[in-house]
Amino acid sequence: MVRIYRAEDAERAERAGYKAAYVADLRFRESLDSCGVILVDIEGEGRSSPHAHERLEEVFIALSDLDLYIGKERHELKNGDVVIVEPGEEHSFEAIKHQASRLLALKFPNIKDDKIVPKRGSEN
């Protein structure tokens, strides 16, 4: 089940020389030995292709405002929000309005070619 952690709800603390917001305490399904890190840019009004992963979990950190789709359900993400998507959850992202959007994707574990693209039948 997708988990969304809102940056605006994070506990904020003053530190020596900086401010910290503790956004999420993530728990993973299995022990991890690797992580893939991907910077994703989506052009204004662009959308990534819906897909899922067979084995890996993904953590997404919104670096701008954008929309997340889990199946057909839309979730508005704000800059700094953190999302964890479990294996088998179909997801995609869409830039909002006429602005480009950016997010950081972390793949746990880093499994190459683990993408599952759903088969779309013809609509009658």
Q: pLDDT (tens digit, 0 to 9) for every residue of the chain, 124 residues total?
A: 899 999 999 999 998 889 999 899 888 877 888 999 999 999 988 999 999 999 999 999 999 999 999 999 999 999 999 999 999 999 999 998 888 999 999 999 998 889 898 776 544 4
Q: What is the pLDDT of residue 85?
A: 95
Structural domains of the chain, ranges and CATH numbers in brackets:
3-114 (2.60.120.10)
Alpha carbons 55 and 118: distance in angstroms, whole number: 15
What DSSP assignment string belongs to 25-78?
----SS--S--EEEEEEE-TT-BPPPBEESS-EEEEEESS-EEEEETTEEEEE-
